[in-house]
Amino acid sequence: MGNPILFAIPAFFILILVEYFISRWMKRDVYRLNDSINDISTGMLQLLSSVFFKGLIVGAYVWTYHKSKEWGIAFEVPTDNPWAWLGLFLGVDFCYYWFHRASHQMNAPWAAHVVHHQSEEYNLSVALRQSTFQSLFSWAFYIPLAVLGFPALMTYLLRAVNSLYQFWIHTRLIGRMGPLEWVFNTPSHHRVHHARNFKYLDKNHAGTLIIWDRLFGTFMKEEEEPTYGVTKALNSWNPVWANLHAWTYLYEMMRRAPRWQDKIKIWFMPPAWVPEGLGELEQRSETDTKKFDPPSPYPLKVYVLGHFAVCVVILTWFLAVYGGVLVPAYQAPQTKLVEVAELVQQSSSLGLGRIAQDGLSAVMVKDQVWSWSGIVGMTLFITVSLLSLGGLLEGARWSPLFEFFRLLFSAFALCFLAPDLSWSVAAAILALGMMVVWLTLLAECRMHFLRKMEPLALDRAIMEFDEWHSHKEGREKFPVSEGDSASAIFAQRWGAPK
């Protein structure tokens, strides 16, 4: 049995295209290419991370399930009883609600979950915007289901169903849905959850059923049109930075906190909490509706979209055909290890093949055993590619040269991996062609990069200075008259932009 989410990927892209064309027909701007590519890029990184994390996470569930059986705690749950499936459906949704709520009320899990909320749009591509590190927190909330005796395959199947349900509610094109909204999570309810309006913050944490929010006091009805995004904007199309941005912010606050107690508390307090002595939390105003949207020339957009599509195909191939899931080599009988591997296979995208133990891990694949270097190499290639394409879209200074070297190393990799000389020659010609296309495109877009990158760099420098100056130490080191704008302050310190 394969992962339902992996099999649903073609349907996801088809539905995204359908929503895009319907929105164009309705004359509503709900999509931006740069935003949607960034959304899907973070989802791709999450899929890559599951190659490394899922074995540990599923293994922890299986271990807890077996120990609960041994200790006589778990119930005997019949897998052919529809009431057992209904009970587990409610249990999975209930656990998701509390995980989701905790992710909005504690800094550490929020730093992982915030990735899903960074988009300033709200459409079906946002549903694919997922965090690389979120699964390292979420798994613990489902452990009670293992203690109760629900087999892992049942649990992970219904967790996939829970995730699939939430795809369609990420849309602005569906309005209110009448009586269905009394029980189920709907697009209207979830739009509230993605809003950064102060009245909507930390509301509607439901997965499938909205009844948990109604029962535990976190329900909010959609009233005015939400403003989407987070109160501290990302302002980047870099999918790697999207996953690290909140963590670096927390680390910086921890470093600057004067009391050691606050250095610990910062990870467990709500996101709005600031250690004593660091001033107030900087937040965007609700009326600030300006979106991060650096312009890009049309040929560059076509180039990025084409290479992004190649990355999607490569990732799907890697996961569905030759990808690997790393499973801990427990000091348990081989049958237990095989059971864990089979479970990972059923709850991931891979066909069950051979299991090879090296004393540290077992690598399960369909047709062959991949080395660590092969798995890490493929992960790095896709990650670096998405990083480069995001940099091109935002006009980062380093992106043109970075993209050239990405293509150059891709050429070496293609030649090295080719099965024989003829394939190596073909790969070399293809890679050379890609570099020629990029250099030609760069020459055409040269003035765009030179013209657009300076204002973008200035805007970022101003935002960084404004953030520094909002704290007490910044005001003491560089006092200015009240009412001065961030750009005026920046110009006084570093000179006006040319």
Q: Which pLDDT score, from 0 to 100, does residue 407 have?
A: 87
Does this model's pTM top 0.75? My answer is: yes
Asked whether residue 62 is domain-assigned, the answer is yes
Would you say residue 300 lies in a domain? no
Q: Residue 481: which domain range?
A: 448-494
How much is the pLDDT for 147? 95
CA atoms of 395 and 413, how far apart (whole Å): 27
pLDDT for the residue 444: 66
Q: What is the pLDDT of residue 430?
A: 73
Widest CA span of the chain, in angstroms?
Answer: 75
The tens place of each residue's pLDDT in the chain, 498 residues long, gives: 455 666 788 899 999 999 999 999 999 999 999 999 999 999 999 998 888 888 788 888 999 999 999 898 888 898 889 999 999 999 999 999 999 999 999 999 999 999 999 999 999 999 999 999 999 999 999 999 999 999 988 998 999 999 999 999 999 999 999 999 999 999 999 999 999 999 999 999 999 999 999 999 999 999 999 999 998 888 999 999 999 999 998 998 898 888 888 899 999 999 888 888 776 666 666 667 788 888 888 888 999 999 999 999 888 888 776 544 443 333 333 434 444 444 544 444 333 222 233 322 333 333 344 566 777 888 899 999 999 999 999 888 788 889 888 888 887 777 666 556 666 677 677 777 777 777 777 766 665 565 544 455 555 555 655 555 555 555 555 555 544 554 554 444 444 443
pLDDT value of residue 351? 32
Token output for 394: 């935002």
Reduced 3-state DSSP string for the chain: CCCHHHHCHHHHHHHHHHHHHHHHHCCCCCCCHHHHHHHHHHHHHHHHHHHHHHHHHHHHHHHHHHHHHHCCCCCCCCCCCHHHHHHHHHHHHHHHHHHHHHHHHCHHHHHHHHHHHCCCCCCHHHHCCCCCCCHHHHHHHHHHHHHHCCCHHHHHHHHHHHHHHCCCCCCCCCCCCHHHHHCECCHHHHHHHCECCHHHCCCCCCCCECHHHHHHCCCCCCCCCCCECCCCCCCCCCHHHHHHHHHHHHHHHHHHCCCHHHHHHCCCCCCCCCCCCCCCCCCCCCCCCCCCCCCCCHHHHHHHHHHHHHHHHHHHHHHHHHCCEEEECCCCCHHHHHHHHHHHHHHCCCCCCCEEECCCEEEECCCCCCCHHHHHHHHHHHHHHHHHHHHHHHCCCCHHHHHHHHHHHHHHHHHHHCCCHHHHHHHHHHHHHHHHHHHHHHHHCHHHHHHHHHHHHHHHHHHHHHHHHCCHHHHHHCCCCCCCCHHHHHHHHHCCCC
Asked whether residue 317 is domain-assigned, the answer is: no
Query: pLDDT value at position 361?
Result: 33
Residues 6+ apart with CB under 8 A from 167: 8, 12, 15, 124, 127, 128
Q: How far apart are CA 217 and CA 196, in angstroms?
A: 19
Tell me if 293 is assigned to some domain: no
Q: Domain boundary at 226, 248, 263, which?
A: 226
Query: Domain for residue 13, yes or no?
Result: yes
Query: In the listed set 226, 259, 278, which residue is the last one of a domain according to the structure?
Result: 226
Q: Is residue 364 in a domain? A: no
The pLDDT, as a whole number, for residue 294 is: 86
Domain count of the chain?
2
How confident is the model at residue 324, as a pLDDT?
A: 41
Give the pLDDT score at 488.
Answer: 53
Is residue 401 in a domain? no
Q: Which of 226, 261, 281 is the last residue of a domain?
A: 226
**pLDDT score at 449:** 61
pLDDT of residue 298: 86
Q: Which residue has the tokens 């008259």?
A: 481
pLDDT at 323: 44
Instruction: Examine residue 32 and state whether it is found in any structural domain, yes or no.
Output: yes
CB within 8 A of 240, min separation 6: which ones? 45, 383, 386, 387
